[in-house]
Amino acid sequence: MNQELINFISNELKTGKSQDVIRNELMQSGWKEEDINNVFQNLNNQNSQAGSSSFFSKFLSQDPKRYYPTISSALPQSPNRLWAIPLLGGLIKYIIIIPVAIELYFLYLFNFILMLINPFSVLVRGKYVNFAYVFNIGLMRLTMKISFFLFGITDKYPGFSFNINDNFSLDIPFPEKPNKVFAIPIFGIIIRTVFLIPFNIFTGVVSMAVVIGGIIASFPVLFTGKYPQIIYELVIDQLRLSQASFAYANGLSDTYPSFYISFKNKIIKIILILITIIVVGFPIFSLAFTFQNFSKIFQNSNKYNTSTPKIYPKGSNGSNNYSPTITDKTANWKIYTNTKVGYQFKFPDRYDGPRISNSPPVSATGTEEKGVIIGDTQSDFYMLYVFPFVGTIEELRRTRKNDYGYPPLGGWEDSKDIAIEEQTLHSNNIEGLFASVTYTNPQIRLITPHPGRSIFFLGKNRAFVLYGWSSRSKDELPQMFSTFKFTQYDPPVTDITPTISSSPTNCPSGLRNCQQKPSSGSCPTQSPFVCTSGSQQICCENPQ
């Protein structure tokens, strides 16, 4: 055995070159492939005897038993610059390769049939079907020709034949003693497929790096006429990995394939692989994160989707005496009390305390005059709007004011895009109008995932609009309204427009339950509004 050849191969292996690359370089220099393979075999035996057969080294070795198939090729010397034109060259290649790709599709379907038939021969006869071996080798070679053409290793059209008429080759030994355990029908295929999962993930990452590298390689080919050595090595590694996976899955080898790739110029290759992981991994991570959030929302929806209070249609006879029942879940909800206006209600305990702003976050103090925000996400929150108002609930609902929330697209009116459903609620002597929007326009449904729902009600000379932007608002809005109640509050005289009465015993227009103001200076709860009549003051109730 030639010592010069041994020393050369040993030194080249230390630089990180793969056996295929070294073999190709030596064969181009005139060395015989048989002599080269003998040196590789001798070096692998020495490494094995030296104790280099640890668990990880086995799967990263270049032992011919694991490092298969054998690929011989050469770095392209004069690649066609036409194919290197960005976008155009690749587009033309992918268009003209379509007929071969169609053939390849049907060939792989036939390969699947062979995968089901060949194990019976192995299991019964202990022999691999010769036709299956020839077919699989041919299929691997056709795949090699297509890959080399697409990535610019060759400019020759791959054609439809299994034969290779170019300066590269692919071989793998005939399996003389296939393992009968892997030949157990169905079971063997499942076991091999499961074993290949980590290998195929690694192969997929390298394949994506080759795609990115192929795009990068087009520029030096276009401007210098030279194919980058680094990209060439990656293409060879990717082809060997993918074909090794195919060979193992089809029983051409029962030895788990090696993960080894050439790490000459390893920094650039590592950078390419890291870029690939980021490019591919970020969308996958985003989808997984989104799916996780939707799962949590669904779980919470089940958790809080308790029995819904009955709601009677607006205007139905006998419905005005109905009060929604507070469920066991609402009994454990958090409470917000407003001492400024004088009201109180409960909200789901999955939320933090109410706020008056989310950007920046400002917590509510219970003295707000314009309402509060419940929740701090863009997909699950409620808002209570409070503002001075004189009129009926129906007038409030039809008033498109910018200061009371999110009316649906088109407003709270039926149109060609939306349909409004109205229902009347009664709770704690408060009447509310529950309005729900159904979007009939598919384009609107795409940009507004949740139906628009609000409850309109009046009190304290103010309008209240409880708005929900949540998948649970259909149930939770009525439940929140069922806990709403007004508390005692004496507004300043400056908040009231005095009404002159001709007589203390007669109520001014629009007021009722008038009585003389007590000497204590405070009006009773049932008639809290101060009016004047001449030199006297009276206490009246505003029915609104």
Q: How many CB atoms lie within 10 A of CB 158?
A: 22
Range among 2-6, 213-217, 499-503 with highest mean pLDDT value: 213-217
- The pLDDT > 90 percentage for the chain reads 25
Maximum C-alpha span of the chain: 129
Whether the pLDDT of residue 505 is over 50: the answer is no
- Mean per-residue pLDDT, 194-209: 91
Q: How far is CA 498 from CA 241, 388, 475, in A?
A: 89, 16, 42
Sketch the domain layout of the chain as residue ranges: 54-283, 312-486, 493-541
Whether the pLDDT of residue 53 is over 50: the answer is no
Kindly tell me the burial class for residue 356, based on how many C-beta atoms sit within 10 Å of its own C-beta (0-12, 13-18, 19 or more). Answer: middle
Which pTM was predicted?
Answer: 0.48
Q: What is the pLDDT of residue 73?
A: 86
Could you tell me if 309 and 482 are in contact, meaning their C-beta atoms sit under 8 angstroms apart? yes
Whether the pLDDT of residue 526 is over 70: the answer is no
Q: 293 versus 219: which is more confidently predicted? A: 219
**DSSP 3-state assignment of 280?**
helix
Q: What is the pLDDT of residue 502?
A: 38
Could you tell me if 465 and 385 are in contact, meaning their C-beta atoms sit under 8 angstroms apart? yes
Could you tell me if 541 and 511 are in contact, meaning their C-beta atoms sit under 8 angstroms apart? yes
Cα 307 to chain centroid, rounded: 32
- Mean per-residue pLDDT, 484-506: 53
Whether the pLDDT of residue 507 is over 70: the answer is no
Could you tell me if 118 and 180 are in contact, meaning their C-beta atoms sit under 8 angstroms apart? no
Q: 67 versus 415: which is more confidently predicted? A: 67
Q: What is the pLDDT of residue 489?
A: 58
Q: What is the dihedral of CA 427, 428, 430, 433, to 10 degrees?
A: -10
Kindly tell me the burial class for residue 57, based on how many C-beta atoms sit within 10 Å of its own C-beta (0-12, 13-18, 19 or more). Answer: middle
Q: How far is CA 388 from CA 401, 459, 460, 500, 509, in A?
A: 12, 10, 9, 22, 20
Confidence of residue 410 (pLDDT cuts 50, 70, 90): very low
Q: 529 versus 109: which is more confidently predicted? A: 109
Name the CATH superfamily for 312-486. Answer: Mog1/PsbP, alpha/beta/alpha sandwich (3.40.1000.10)
Dist. CA 224–CA 535, nearest whole Å: 103
| DSSP assigned state of 47 | H
- Look at 187-201, 332-346, 409-423, 469-483 and tell me which has the smallest mean pLDDT: 409-423
Q: 90 versus 287: which is more confidently predicted? A: 90
| Sheet-wide strand order for 512-516 | 512-516, 536-541, 529-533
Q: Classify the phi-psi angles of 372: left when phi > 0, otherwise alpha if psi is within -120 to 50, otherwise beta.
A: beta
Range among 76-90, 101-115, 272-286 with highest mean pLDDT value: 101-115
**DSSP 3-state assignment of 489?**
coil
Whether the pLDDT of residue 543 is over 60: the answer is no
Whether the pLDDT of residue 416 is over 50: the answer is yes
Confidence of residue 223 (pLDDT cuts 50, 70, 90): very high
Dist. CA 129–CA 251, nearest whole Å: 11
How many alpha carbons lie under 13 Å from residue 512 in its C-beta half-sphere? 4
Q: Which residues contact 242 (CB under 8 A, 6 or more apart)?
A: 143, 203, 207
**In sequence order, what DSSP letters do the residues of 30-65 get, joined into one string?**
T--HHHHHHHHHHHHHHHHHTT---HHHHHT---TT
- Mean per-residue pLDDT, 386-399: 82
Dist. CA 355–CA 199, nearest whole Å: 52
Give me the residues paired with residue 374 across strands.
382
Give me the residues paired with residue 96 across strands.
none
Whether the pLDDT of residue 472 is over 90: the answer is no
Q: What is the pLDDT of residue 74?
A: 85
**Which of 513, 508, 510, 507 is CA-nearest to residue 526?**
513
Q: Which amino acid is at 474?
A: K
Could you tell me if 294 and 286 are in contact, meaning their C-beta atoms sit under 8 angstroms apart? no
Whether the pLDDT of residue 496 is over 50: the answer is no
Q: 507 versus 192: which is more confidently predicted? A: 192
Q: What is the 3-state secondary structure (H, E, C) of 235-298?
A: HHHHHHHHHHHHHHHCCCCCCCCCCCCCCCCHHHHHHHHHHHHHHHHHHHHHHHHHHHHHHHHH
Express each pLDDT in 445-468 by its tens digit.
655 556 678 899 998 888 899 888
Whether the pLDDT of residue 199 is over 70: the answer is yes
- Look at 69-83, 351-365, 509-523 and tell me which has the smallest mean pLDDT: 509-523
Q: What is the pLDDT of residue 45?
A: 60
Q: What is the pLDDT of residue 534?
A: 52
Express each pLDDT in 103-160 by its tens digit.
999 999 999 999 989 999 999 999 999 999 999 999 999 999 999 999 999 999 999 9
Confidence of residue 249 (pLDDT cuts 50, 70, 90): very high
- Mean per-residue pLDDT, 364-381: 84
**Which of 203, 290, 196 is CA-nearest to residue 251?**
196
The mean of the pLDDT values for the chain is 78
Strand ranges (DSSP E) for 60-110?
70-72
Confidence of residue 488 (pLDDT cuts 50, 70, 90): confident
Q: 252 versus 326: which is more confidently predicted? A: 252
| Total residue count of the chain as it appears in this document | 544
Q: What do you get for the CA distance between the two ends of the chain, in Å? A: 108
Whether the pLDDT of residue 499 is over 50: the answer is no
Whether the pLDDT of residue 99 is over 80: the answer is yes
Whether the pLDDT of residue 305 is over 50: the answer is no
∠ CA 24-25-27, rounded to 5°: 65
Dist. CA 43–CA 11, nearest whole Å: 12
Q: Which helix (H) or strand (E) holds 533?
A: strand 529-533
Range among 244-253, 355-364, 416-425, 526-535 with highest mean pLDDT value: 244-253
Cα 523 to chain centroid, rounded: 60
- Mean per-residue pLDDT, 301-319: 47
Confidence of residue 319 (pLDDT cuts 50, 70, 90): very low
Tell me the two tokens of residue 107: 């060939």
- Mean per-residue pLDDT, 215-235: 89
**In sequence order, what DSSP letters do the residues of 323-390 get, joined into one string?**
-PPPPHHHHTSEEEEETTTTEEEEE-TTS-S-EEEETTEEE--S--SSEEEE--SSSSEEEEEEEE--
